[in-house]
Chain A
Amino acid sequence: DDKLLSEPLSHPDFFNVKELFTLKDLFDARVHLGHKKGCRHRFMEPYIFGCRLDQDIIDLDQTMQHLQLALNFTAHVAYRKGIILFISRKRQFCHLVESTARECGEYAHTRYWQGGLLTNAHIQFGSGVRLPDLLIFLSSLNNVFQPHVAIRDAAKMNIPTVGVVDTNCNPCLISYPIPGNDDSPTAMELYCKLFRMTIIRAKDKRRQSEVFDELR
């Protein structure tokens, strides 16, 4: 059992997430497009490649690295049977995110966030509830263009976060930020596809390893 859990940690890319996407895929899905120069957040400047006609362009090489790290981390969490919660407050992609979560067998929250969901969980849900082990933000702002409350709450409750940060977002409290576009439908579909594939792969690998162990 110990070997089952410690074996994936010895490889840098146990689940081979690098082959899931290429730079060209990211470019075709318009992940590099950011907001206008005026909306730029100060902490996003290291991730921005340049500015063309007042519109920020995100550096896709950095995005590739961050995306690999993030997908690797989600795969490890899913391998260890952790609870993953998808969060997005964009109304256009609410249905997409919920369907993705349902297909993976994980959880989603694309609605109004009640204040004490993570910090006051034992009273809101009942004692003995298990909190999520990873939060994935497919859009880290809420409907009033302010950072989502869940980022701060996850930091308070020691829950790691993965998040797609656009040029107007604050990447500070997110453990694995992914600089990229969160407004285009193509970009969101790409992210959903990638997360879905990693989670399903990780779960399948876990099941296979358990079967091999039992056979031995």
Chain B
Amino acid sequence: MAAAESPSAALRRRDLCSRGIRLAGKMRADVVDLLDAYVEQQGLDASASVAAMEGVPLAAVERWDEQTGTQRLLENLAAYRAFRTLLAQMLEEQREQLGEADAGLGRALAAVLLQVSAFAYHLEELLRLESRGIPGEEGDGPPPPPRLSLFEQKLRGLGVLRELAQWAVRSVRDLRQLGKPSSAAGTAPGLAESP
């Protein structure tokens, strides 16, 4: 049975969740803009299907409403740590391919990378608040990408940004669940009340 949360901890949690929701919302808007720019600059078809790629965390989840708060935080943290590495790889590839020719896209990628890093830190704060140990990052990141062709790199980048956009929405929903007054991370999930 989870210990009752102190009022100050509950307030702090709700505050962190509210700020996290705003961060995730801004991040999502920027990722969507970046996605549009990326598709255009890379000459891709926006409607192209991209198969799931190794190392890219999938936002899709079954029984989302049954997750505990801790599960939500841990899965979010793992995902954004992976995205941090993936975006850094994309930025490097971008510089190699285009050099300074596409500084705008590079800047946009760097800005999103910064937001992803900030959000990962924010999630760590929430985990600390829940007195949960922060999982180490060793072996957490995606494996080093196999040597991909230029086109495969572009498709992978498309997949990364798409999943990141989905994760941003999922994170908003997760934090909203966490921020509910009745919710504390380790307790049983609050199942949605259906009319």
A-B interaction: no
Q: Which residues of A come within 8 Å of B, CB atoms?
A: none
Q: Which residues of B come within 8 Å of A, CB atoms?
A: none
